[in-house]
């Protein structure tokens, strides 16, 4: 069966945080030797990754990705990557006096230093011309640093990650990085903080031609392109940038699915009127423009609320994360994204991205909510069914979409369960808490389908089960409580301090439900309070009053698609 490829676009600094964790998680699940296989191949990595060659003929495997960020956001990462001999500085001849300004090299953290050591060892294996020097011969056994890359060494990177490239484990193609030179990362004098600034960047012909060239490069090498993933910051200028790209994709690749995950940090600047106004106004424009031009639009954040005041970070029973660290929060969202996307990345199955988006966006419902149980609570002695039943009347997952709560009767949902061993599916005999109908199931997939149909009888349910758990080895952050074992089970005894968590079972649900109305209505209510005439920086950026009123009307219209008697507050 031929691969149905997807091209991914990461638009914005936080989107690149999420994406970096996502690519790291996927790379962690690669199997390099037949001996390491635990069963039949489950994931077709060619959907999101591409195979290529370096100038020396060495095979490479890199994400089919374009990552967009501002100038000064890469730290030690070279714009052209490290796989190819591109970007070498040429000798500059100048007859006049020259003032030479040297900048200090960026200090790499412990993880990146170890990564360099591993790559140096791998290069010595590829180029055996170093064999004359006995100190340079490759070892036949795995080195300590190579083992570290598979989770055996624990890194504490909380204080040494400032940008997403500080924990990037995979190589990127030279065509993957796109830097917006018009603005500088974390520049308070000229912040990239308005939707209209993002759209204005791509009104420049040269800027638009450059990003189009990168998109075409990845698209044209696909045999059967099924669509695009877009991870997009939606509370700043990247919302406008991403919306402009979505317009381009809609015009040029009309029949291809476009799934947009609009992401935002759990903690953002909230100390001034401008901070709060930007967050609300930008979100309204992004929901309108981005939502209408996407096949499916999924807002994601660990913040409970984003509008008038930043809400407290979401609580998860077995996570101890720091909401102020993008390195932590983006890791949780990436694990959710990796699990949600499994149905159309499965090996040998015909589900496609368009199947998901078309099922959800009927009747104008282009916005979906996402929920996760991470890790899914399995005890060493317990079963999947017992964990489900322990939630009683409450769904077994938690919302990752701000202003959206759990819903007991969604219109549509795609549910994924991964990492539950078959022998832990259910008991052979019914108990007072477990219906006999569930003990008669012969597989995890059968249990999931029965649970969904019995719990959500009015919902169009789609279920997917995967054998392998979610890999969370280094450099994934230490966000799990001490009750989570290294293999992801919930134990009474604390995990030792020198032992990390390597994999966890997980469950996600992507839903179209009436609670989305709460998001649209609350955003409309807050955005309507602004007299746009008083926000001169928006008017100076090209915003007109009529355009703002039309955007608010569009947000209201979108919300009406989800309005039911139970969703009216």
pLDDT at 139 over 90: no
Q: Does position 451 have pLDDT exceeding 70, yes or no?
A: yes
Q: Token pair for residue 37?
A: 């296989």
> Which of 25-39, 54-68, 237-251, 477-491 shows the lowest mean pLDDT across its residues?
25-39
Top pLDDT among 151 and 108 is at 108
Q: Taking Cα atoms as reference points, which of 31, 169, 107 lies closest to residue 475?
A: 169
Look at 503 and 567; give whichever has higher pLDDT: 503
Average pLDDT over residues 419-424: 93
Report the residue count for the chain.
Answer: 569
| Averaged confidence pLDDT in the chain | 88
Least confident of 260-274, 283-297, 391-405, 424-438: 424-438
Question: Where are the strands (E) in 125-206, listed by range?
Answer: 177-184
Percentage of the chain lying above the pLDDT 70 cut: 86
Residue 549's φ and ψ, nearest 5 degrees, are -65, -40
Please tell me the predicted confidence (pLDDT) of residue 355: 95
| Whether residue 220 has pLDDT greater than 70 | yes
pTM confidence score: 0.91
pLDDT at 88: 43
Q: Tell me what the mean pLDDT of segment 154-177 comes to.
A: 95
Q: What pLDDT score does 236 carry?
A: 96
User: Cα(175)–Cα(81) distance, rounded to whole angstroms?
Assistant: 9
Q: 58 pLDDT band (50/70/90 cuts)?
A: confident
pLDDT at residue 395 is higher than 60 = yes
Q: Assess contact for 397 and 370: CB atoms under 8 A.
A: no
For residue range 512-553, list pLDDT tens digits in order. 999 999 999 999 999 999 999 889 899 998 999 999 999 999
d(CA 121, CA 140): 11
DSSP strand E in 340-433: where?
369-373, 398-399, 412-418
d(Cα 290, Cα 306) in Å, to the nearest integer? 17
Structure tokens at 440: 């008669």
Domain at 5-83+148-364, CATH class = alpha beta
Residue keyed to tokens 């998001």: 519
At residue 120 the predicted structure's pLDDT band, cuts being 50, 70 and 90, is confident
CA separation for the pair 343, 200 (Å, rounded): 37
Residue with the larger pLDDT of the pair 326 and 88: 326
More confident residue, 100 or 439: 439
- The full set of domain ranges for the chain reads 5-83+148-364, 369-515, 518-567
Whether the predicted pLDDT of 142 surpasses 50:
no
Q: In this predicted model, what pLDDT tens digit does every residue of 83-103 receive, in sequence order?
A: 665 444 334 344 545 554 455
**Beta strands in 133-214, from DSSP E residues, in sequence order:** 177-184
User: Which of left, alpha, beta for 521 (phi over 0: left; psi -120 to 50: alpha)?
Assistant: alpha
The CA-based angle 101-103-106, given to 5 degrees, is 170
Q: If we measure between CA atoms, which residue out of 68, 76, 264 comes closest to residue 166?
A: 76
């Amino acid at each position: 069966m031929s691969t149905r490829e997807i091209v991914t676009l990461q638009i914005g600094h936080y989107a690149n945080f999420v994406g970096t964790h996502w690519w790291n998680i996927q790379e962690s699940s690669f199997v390099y030797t037949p001996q390491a296989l635990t069963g039949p191949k489950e994931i077709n990595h060619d959907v999101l990754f591409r195979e290529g060659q370096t100038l020396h003929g060495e095979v490479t495997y890199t994400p089919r990705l374009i990552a967009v960020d501002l100038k000064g956001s890469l730290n030690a990462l070279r714009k052209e990557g490290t796989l190819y001999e591109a970007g070498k500085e040429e000798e500059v001849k100048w007859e006049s006096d020259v003032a030479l300004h040297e900048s200090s090299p960026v200090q790499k953290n412990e993880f990146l230093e170890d990564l360099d050591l591993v790559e140096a060892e791998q290069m010595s294996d590829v180029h055996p011309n170093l064999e004359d020097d006995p100190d340079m011969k490759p070892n036949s056994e795995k080195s300590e640093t190579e083992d570290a890359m598979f989770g055996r060494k624990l890194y504490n990177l909380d204080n040494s990650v400032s940008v997403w490239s500080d924990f990037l484990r995979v190589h990127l193609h030279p065509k993957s990085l796109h830097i917006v030179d018009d603005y500088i990362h974390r520049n308070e004098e000229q912040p990239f903080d308005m939707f209209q600034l993002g759209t204005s960047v791509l009104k420049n012909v040269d800027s638009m031609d450059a990003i189009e060239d990168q998109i075409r490069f990845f698209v044209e090498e696909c045999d059967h392109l099924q669509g695009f993933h877009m991870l997009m910051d939606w509370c700043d200028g990247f919302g406008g940038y991403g919306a402009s790209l979505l317009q381009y994709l809609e015009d040029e690749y009309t029949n291809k699915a476009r799934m947009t995950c609009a992401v935002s940090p759990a903690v953002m600047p909230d100390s001034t009127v401008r901070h709060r106004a930007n967050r609300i106004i930008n979100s309204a424009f992004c929901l309108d423009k981005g939502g209408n031009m996407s096949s499916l639009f999924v807002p994601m954040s660990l913040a409970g609320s984003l509008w008038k005041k930043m809400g407290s970070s979401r609580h998860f029973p077995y996570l101890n994360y720091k909401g102020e660290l993008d390195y932590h929060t983006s890791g949780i969202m990436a694990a959710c994204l990796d699990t949600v996307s499994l149905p159309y990345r499965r090996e040998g199955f015909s589900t496609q991205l368009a199947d998901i988006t078309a099922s959800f966006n009927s009747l104008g419902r282009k916005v979906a909510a996402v929920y996760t149980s991470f890790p899914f609570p399995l005890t060493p002695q317990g079963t999947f069914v017992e964990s489900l039943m322990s939630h009683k009347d409450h769904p077994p997952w938690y919302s990752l979409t701000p202003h959206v709560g759990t819903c007991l009767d969604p219109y549509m949902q795609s549910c994924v369960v991964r990492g539950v061993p078959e022998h832990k599916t259910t008991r052979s005999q019914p108990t007072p808490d477990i219906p006999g109908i569930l003990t008669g199931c012969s597989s995890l997939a059968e249990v999931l389908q029965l649970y969904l149909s019995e719990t959500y009888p009015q919902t169009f349910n789609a279920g997917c089960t995967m054998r392998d758990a979610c890999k969370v080895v280094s450099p994934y952050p230490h966000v799990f409580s001490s009750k989570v074992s290294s293999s992801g089970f919930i134990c009474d005894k604390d995990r030792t301090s020198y032992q990390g968590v390597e994999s966890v079972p997980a469950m996600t649900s992507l839903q179209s439900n009436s609670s989305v109305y709460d998001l649209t209505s609350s955003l409309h209510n807050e955005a309507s309070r602004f007299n746009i005439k008083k926000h001169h920086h928006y008017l100076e950026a090209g915003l007109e009053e009529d355009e703002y009123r039309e955007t608010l009307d569009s947000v209201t219209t979108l919300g009406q698609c989800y309005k039911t008697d139970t969703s009216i507050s």
